[in-house]
Amino acid sequence: MTNKHLIALDLDGTLLTDDKKITSRTKKVIRTAREEGHIVMIATGRPYRSSEMYYRELELDTPIVNFNGAFIHHPNNDKWGIFHSPLDLRVTKEIIEALDSFSFHNIIAEIRDDVYLHYHDEKLIEIFQLDKPNVTSGDLLRFLPDAPTSMLIHTDEVHLQKIREHLSSVHAEVVDHRSWTAPWHVIEIIKSGMNKAVGLKRACDYYQIPQERVIAFGDEDNDLEMLEFAGKGIAMGNGINHVKTIANDVTLTNEEDGVAEYLNEYLNLKAL
């Protein structure tokens, strides 16, 4: 097939419905696209442990982008390579020390699929233990064994901006940070320069697919680079305004099978 496309899918708010499911219609369209030679991959801010079930459910055989590009690997092919770009450990510890001057609830450091909590918190463990990672609680300055892939700071809405201003003024060259949307007031920190487009570029090189034949779907600010990289960057109907502004097209919401509807029509799949 000469015009095969690389299709990159964000999970939350994009591929998944609000109750974190993939609908049968969406599965059917993705299966048809793959049968016709298109390549489908997941690009998410989630760690692998909480995206693997969707990878398996779709029966994918492609690389996966986790932690917004800070961890990229191919679950079914060890020879593909593992691309892990963690934060610098010294910088991580400087950030943790500086947080003493700010108000926050907790710090969560993730080293690939292991989770380290600054303070023991059953509710957070429940949220992060979707798939039973190894969870360790204790002073991160003492217990963090290695450079984390990503770090999350859980705070209150009123303190979020102050902490982000500190990160920008002190660590702008070495870290990128963004905040999650409500109800969680969380600042997510990864190594500077990491984003989903980094993973898409690796996949394009591997499959020898030009950028103009990349279709990427997303809804949040961590999808911006990926949508700009793609020949067709598609915003979900439920996406934030900034994503819709930079996108080439806007599809229906994640509750209306936006991904399936767009792919079915754009690739003329006749699956629905």
Domain co-membership, 160 together with 210: no
What is the average per-residue pLDDT within 212-237?
Answer: 97
What is the average per-residue pLDDT within 52-66?
Answer: 97
Q: How many Cβ atoms from other residues are within 10 Å of residue 35's Cβ?
A: 10
Domain co-membership, 185 together with 201: no
Domain co-membership, 54 together with 116: no
Phi-psi region of 197 (alpha: psi -120 to 50; beta: other; left: phi over 0): alpha
pLDDT tens digit string along 142-155? 999 999 999 999 99
Of 157, 183, 176, nearest to 95 (Cα)? 176
Give the CA distances from residue 12 to residues 105, 137, 156, 238, in Å, rounded to whole numbers and listed in that order: 24, 27, 22, 11
Query: What's the rounded Cα separation, in Å, for the pair 129 and 67?
Result: 16
Q: How many Cβ atoms from other residues are within 10 Å of residue 141's Cβ?
A: 11
Residues of the domain holding 183: 89-191
Domain co-membership, 178 together with 207: no
Is residue 2 over pLDDT 70? Answer: no
pLDDT score of 104? 95
Q: Which of 191, 214, 244 is the last residue of a domain?
A: 191
In a domain, 182, yes or no: yes
**CA dihedral defined by 272, 203, 62, 9, rounded to 10 degrees?**
-40
In a domain, 271, yes or no: no
Domain co-membership, 241 together with 186: no
Q: Which of 191, 211, 234 is the last residue of a domain?
A: 191
Active-site residues, by number, are 10
Q: Which of 134, 161, 191 is the last residue of a domain?
A: 191
Domain co-membership, 182 together with 206: no
In a domain, 178, yes or no: yes
Q: Do 14 and 26 contact (CB within 8 A), yes or no?
A: no
Domain co-membership, 135 together with 203: no
For residue 101, what are its two tokens? 């001057």
Strand partners, 41: 8
Is residue 129 over pLDDT 70? Answer: no
Burial class of 47 by CB neighbour count within 10 A (0 to 12, 13 to 18, 19+): buried
pLDDT score of 1? 55
Domain co-membership, 25 together with 115: no
pLDDT score of 256? 98
pLDDT score of 11? 97
For residue 22, what are its two tokens? 């993939």
Domain co-membership, 74 together with 201: yes
Whichever domain contains 213, its CATH number is 3.40.50.1000
Q: How many domains does the chain have?
A: 2
In a domain, 25, yes or no: yes
Query: What's the rounded Cα separation, in Å, for the pair 2 and 7?
Result: 15
pLDDT tens digit string along 85-121? 999 999 999 999 999 999 999 999 999 989 999 999 8
Whichever domain contains 131, its CATH number is 3.30.1240.10
Residue whose structure tokens are 């450990």: 89
pLDDT tens digit string along 172-195? 899 999 888 777 889 999 999 999
Domain co-membership, 125 together with 77: no
Give the CA distances from residue 254 to residues 57, 245, 259, in Å, rounded to whole numbers and listed in that order: 18, 18, 7
In a domain, 1, yes or no: no
First to last CA, the chain: 22
What is the average per-residue pLDDT within 62-71?
Answer: 97
Domain co-membership, 202 together with 257: yes
Domain co-membership, 70 together with 96: no
Q: Is the pTM of this model over 0.85?
A: yes
Q: Do 128 and 164 contact (CB within 8 A), yes or no?
A: no
